[in-house]
């Protein structure tokens, strides 16, 4: 079970009623935050998210609206009594950025483990049992998109196990994918489990102009979080020049990638009422949410 909260939905500047775009993902008691613009620690508190669970931070790129809140977040974590290490993942140069930011918070009661990822090719790593992949995006500076995939065990079928006379003490091992030997007979996991289950996948893409590879990267997502600076197509070219998308491009991306649900985010401060594009955008991809701060879902 993965809980996802879109903590903020703004781009460029935090506004009184719109915090900057970032995603809180919680699984198995640990949380990971993707992006951390100015004021993020306040937005996290506003949505009731527990800082004590924060184990990792992922940064997409080094524009202020995605990274300038890190020092405040680190100080808040220190004040919360965090003592176990915090992992920070980001493109090449992340260590230098953290070093610079940390000059205003030099005495933190926890270690920071920095993991730099390539900006020029895809990469993959594992966090908390979740496979995270990065994709180089096309923005005005180097930027990464991320996907989070959790493989799921097939359902255990107790009636089959009982029919085969398998003692309960072996069930956990079988469900974990191990065969067991009982009275000289080998019992394989397939004998007592259901069909393969589709993994849970979340993809987070901001900031970038549209390009075809995104659809493959986001393929079969249960949830695609993707940027839209404006709702109106008349801004499409201007936004592409700046390395951004408009709503319709994210809706096309959701459709092409076979995603189940699209959450739009990263609105321009000039876009005061993104909801007014709801009908237009749902005509392209019906399962679109023009997200508000604090949008949340539990994916099973
Ligand atoms: Zn941005
Ligand atoms: Zn940017």
pLDDT in tens, 110-120: 999 999 999 99
Q: How far, in Å, from the CA of 37 to the mean position of ligand 1? A: 9
Q: Are 296 and 5 in contact (CB under 8 A)?
A: yes
Q: What is the largest CA-CA distance in the chain?
A: 72
Instruction: In whole angstroms, give the CA distance from residue 204 to residue 247.
Output: 15
Which residues fall within 8 angstroms of residue 95, CB to CB, at 6 or more apart? 114, 116
Q: Are strands 130-136 and 144-150 parallel, antiparallel or unpaired?
A: antiparallel
- Closest-lying ligand to the alpha carbon of 63? 2
- Per-residue pLDDT, 239: 95
Cα four-point dihedral sign 233, 274, 214, 287: negative
Instruction: In whole angstroms, give the CA distance from residue 155 to residue 170.
Output: 15
Band the pLDDT of 196: cuts 50, 70, 90: confident
- Closest-lying ligand to the alpha carbon of 12? 1
Q: Which of 100-114, 121-135, 212-226, 264-278 shows the lowest mean pLDDT across its residues?
A: 100-114
Q: How far, in Å, from the CA of 12 to the mean position of ligand 1? A: 5
Q: Are 266 and 228 in contact (CB under 8 A)?
A: yes
Overall pTM surpassing 0.85 (yes/no)? yes
Which protein residues have a CB closer than 5 Å to ligand 1 (ion)? 11, 65, 207
Whether the per-residue pLDDT at 46 is higher than 90: the answer is yes
- Tell me which residue of 33, 25, 18 sits closest to 1, measured CA to CA: 25
Domains in the chain, ordered, with CATH?
2-152+198-296 (3.60.15.10), 158-191 (no CATH)
Set 3, 35, 55, 65: catalytic member: 65
Q: Which H helix or E strand runs over 72?
A: helix 70-79
Q: How far, in Å, from the CA of 154 to the mean position of ligand 2? A: 40
Q: How far, in Å, from the CA of 206 to the mean position of ligand 2? A: 8
Q: How far, in Å, from the CA of 119 to the mean position of ligand 2? A: 14
Q: How far, in Å, from the CA of 127 to the mean position of ligand 2? A: 25
Q: What is the mean pLDDT of the chain?
A: 96
3-state secondary structure of 44: helix
Whether the per-residue pLDDT at 106 is higher than 90: the answer is no
pLDDT digits (tens, 9 = 90+) for 65-76: 999 999 999 999
Instruction: In whole angstroms, give the CA distance from residue 161 to residue 284.
Output: 47
Whether the per-residue pLDDT at 50 is higher than 90: the answer is yes
Token readout for 104 is 């205003």
**212 is annotated as an active-site residue:** no
Instruction: In whole angstroms, give the CA distance from residue 183 to residue 175.
Output: 19
Rg of the Cα atoms in the chain: 21
- Closest-lying ligand to the alpha carbon of 208? 2
- 22: β partners: 8
- Closest-lying ligand to the alpha carbon of 139? 2
Q: Are 145 and 58 in contact (CB under 8 A)?
A: no
Q: How far, in Å, from the CA of 61 to the mean position of ligand 2? A: 7
């Amino acid at each position: 079970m993965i809980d996802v909260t879109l903590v903020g939905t703004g781009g460029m500047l935090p506004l009184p009623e719109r915090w900057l775009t970032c995603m809180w993902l919680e699984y198995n008691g640990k949380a990971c935050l993707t992006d951390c613009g100015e004021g993020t620690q306040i937005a996290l508190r506003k949505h009731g998210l527990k800082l004590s669970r924060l184990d990792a931070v992922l940064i997409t790129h080094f524009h202020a609206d995605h990274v300038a809140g890190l020092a405040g977040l680190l100080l808040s974590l220190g004040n919360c009594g965090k003592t176990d290490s915090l992992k920070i993942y980001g493109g090449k140069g992340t260590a230098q950025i953290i070093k610079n930011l940390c000059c205003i918070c030099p005495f933190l009661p926890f270690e920071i483990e920095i993991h730099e990822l390539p900006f020029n090719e895809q990469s993959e790593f594992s966090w908390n049992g979740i496979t995270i992949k990065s994709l180089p995006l096309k923005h005005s500076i180097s930027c990464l998109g991320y996907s989070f995939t959790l493989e799921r065990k097939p359902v255990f079928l107790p009636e089959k196990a009982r029919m085969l006379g398998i003692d309960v003490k072996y069930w956990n091992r079988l469900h974990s994918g191990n065969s067991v030997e009982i009275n000289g007979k080998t019992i394989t996991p397939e004998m007592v489990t259901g069909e393969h289950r589709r993994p849970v996948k979340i993809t987070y893409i901001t900031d970038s102009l549209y390009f075809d590879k995104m659809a493959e990267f986001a393929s079969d997502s249960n949830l695609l979080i993707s940027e839209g600076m404006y709702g109106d197509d008349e801004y499409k070219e201007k936004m592409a020049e700046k390395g951004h998308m408009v709503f319709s491009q994210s809706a096309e991306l959701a459709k092409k990638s076979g995603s189940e649900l699209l959450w739009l985010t990263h609105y321009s401060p000039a876009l005061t009422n993104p909801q007014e594009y709801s009908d237009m955008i749902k005509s392209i991809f019906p399962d679109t949410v023009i997200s508000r701060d604090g949008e949340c879902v539990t994916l099973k």
